[in-house]
Amino acid sequence: MYLGLDLGTSEIKAVVIDGEGQLLASAGEPLEVSRPQPHWAEQNPDDWWQATQRAVGRLRQKLPQQWAEIRAIGLSGQMHGAVLLSRDGRVLRPAILWNDTRSAAQCEQLTQAAPELHEVAGNLAMPGFTAPKLLWVARHEPQIFEQTATVLLPKDYLRWMMSGEKVSEMSDAAGTLWLDVAKRDWSDSLLAACGLSRDQMPRLVEGSDVSATLKNDIARAWGLRDDVIIAGGGGDNAASAVGIGAVTPGDAFISLGTSGVLFAVNDRFRPNPQSALHAFCHALPNSWHQMSVMLTAASALRWYCTLIGSNETTLLAEIAQLSPAQQRQAPLFLPYLSGERTPHNDPQATGVFHGMTHSTDRATLGYSVLEGVAFGMADGLAVMQQAGTQLQQCSLVGGGARSDRWAQLVSDALDLPIVTHTGGEAGGALGAARLGWLAAGGDFAEACRKPEIARRFQPQAENRDMLRERLHTYRQLYQQQVALRNA
């Protein structure tokens, strides 16, 4: 059996699969994000570790007879975060997360200091990436920067706690802006531009390789053998791709989690940074991917539910009762609650409801939120198409995949067939478990097969013209926001 751990922004998720790839059990533990100042988003790494131990304990209770048969652990996690360790292994400050946008000024600093950045890293310098975060720390917290002996990504902090080994893998490391993505190795010049060296970086392995072994004391505490291996794993989206079998060129998926992602597999490094597309290594050897990212997706729905004092199930049921005429008259929603990455690269972008009247009710605004996120994904698809990538179908994973209403809306807005999968809600945790299976010698075709399709959603022609018109206005609203800001 194989254990997959996915360190998300809002929860740590853990799953167990057997030697045939069947999902046997899952458990989740919630996490909170601290926002002590505008544009800041932080978490305490110790909270990740405590939540991980609780999730593992719950899985152990669910599988008391089979638990000891676990042979490997895979890791997945939120990308771009910065965990700073001292020489003696102390966490020096709260981890700065992927959706923290405080380092906008440092992006320009990095671009000027490293003219080779776009060619080597394959991406624009954006506040979400790890490198600008370290430049911010160097500028605003120099005493912390001077004590930093190691920089770890979030999931790799869990690996360090589990094994005592400081290791990362290619897909997550590609999101730091310190990796030579084509060569799959740290770039000394990009590190130097941030005042760092490879001595402060973790060792690199491929996601399907063995990275470490579970420490004896952790193995005993968790009730596992002392020879359980830990796979390299993957960044959350690369691991999710493995989980739904997106492992060959042309495969694609959309993830509606805290953030929204459109992910397409490539057979080579295909950077196109001027379009705000990301180009990263995949979690599998000799494989890369392009990725469009919006910073607020399912988290917009959670935000709105909190605002109105409702829950997602109740709200989605109310939205389902709206007529086509009510949808056409719904306000437009710009989902930029944390700024935006693709296609705008704009940390100052803000959320907007536009077009409210006395007849606007909470269900109508709820529809606006779903539609606004779907339009954000349509913007990502347009950018990907401009870069020469054509998609025939997308899988849908993440929390948003639980809503048939949202899945159909995404299909209509993108004019693209959408499929959901049995077990697709396991996302990165399932992919992490599969990478553990591969590291333990599992067959590639078995470990990376596509899971069973649960539902298919075809674009509905009757909605296409209405959504295209609303998407056009949606895009104009953002341009008006920029114009007002620059006035």
Residues 164-181: pLDDT tens digits?
A: 999 999 999 999 999 999
* Strand, coil or helix: 29: strand
Are 465 and 437 in a shared domain? yes
Measured distance CA(59)–CA(52) in Å, rounded? 11
Tokens of 90: 């102390």
343 assigned to some structural domain: yes
User: Taking the complete model, does pTM exceed 0.75, yes or no?
Assistant: yes
What pLDDT was estimated at residue 258?
82
Residue 288 reports pLDDT greater than 70: yes
239 part of a folded domain: no
Residue 237: inside a domain, yes or no?
no
Do residue 204 and residue 284 come from a single domain?
no
List, for residues 456-483, the tens digit of each pLDDT value: 999 999 898 899 999 999 999 999 999 9
Same domain, 478 and 421: yes
Residue 186 and residue 282 in one domain: no
Asked if residue 250 has pLDDT above 90, the reply is no
46: annotated active-site residue: no
* One domain for residues 215 and 345: no
The winner for highest mean pLDDT among 114-118, 266-270, 381-385, 445-449 is 114-118
Among 194-203, 259-268, 422-431, 461-470, the least confident range: 422-431
User: For residue 385, what pLDDT band results from cuts at 50, 70 and 90?
Assistant: confident
Say if CB 17 and CB 63 are below 8 A apart.
no
Reported as a single tens digit per residue, the pLDDT across 406-464 is: 999 999 999 999 999 876 566 789 999 999 999 999 999 999 998 889 999 999 998 98
Shared-domain flag, residues 385 and 458: yes
- 98: CATH: 3.30.420.40
Give the H or E element holding residue 50: helix 45-62
Lowest average pLDDT, out of 220-224, 269-273, 475-479, goes to 269-273
Which residues make Cβ contacts (< 8 Å) with residue 261, sequence separation at least 6?
237, 254, 255, 291, 292, 293, 294
Nearest to 245 by CA among 374, 8, 438: 438
Identify whether residues 210 and 294 lie together within a single domain.
no
Say if 318 falls within a structural domain. Answer: yes
Query: Tokens at residue 12, please?
Result: 């740590």
- Is 466 annotated as ligand-binding? no
Range of the domain at 185: 1-231
Give me the catalytic one of 100, 156, 172, 236: 236
Which of 76, 65, 75 is CA-nearest to residue 223? 65
pLDDT at 485: 92
With 70 as the cut, is the pLDDT of residue 374 above it? yes
295/259 same-domain check: yes
- Give the CA dihedral 156, 161, 164, 167, nearest 10 degrees: 0
Residues 251 and 224 placed together within one structural domain of the fold: no
- For the chain, give the mean pLDDT: 94
Tell me, yes or no, whether 12 lies in a domain. yes
More confident residue, 196 or 346: 196
Query: What is the pLDDT at residue 257?
Result: 82
Q: Do residues 209 and 254 both lie within one domain?
A: no
- The answer to whether 79 is a known ligand-binding residue is yes
Q: Examine residue 77 and state whether it is found in any structural domain, yes or no.
A: yes
Give the HSE-up count for residue 437: Cα atoms under 13 Å, Cβ half-sphere. 29
The answer on pLDDT for 61 being more than 90 is: yes
Decide which of 231, 259, 289 is a domain's last residue. Answer: 231
pLDDT at site 422: 79
From CA 131, how far away is CA 116, in angstroms rounded? 14
- Tell me if 459 is assigned to some domain: yes
**What values do phi and psi take at 58, rounded to 5?**
-70, -40
> Do residues 210 and 266 both lie within one domain?
no
Split into its structural domains, the chain has a count of: 2
The answer to whether residues 168 and 304 belong to one domain is no
pLDDT at residue 23, rounded to an integer: 92
Q: Examine residue 287 and state whether it is found in any structural domain, yes or no.
A: yes
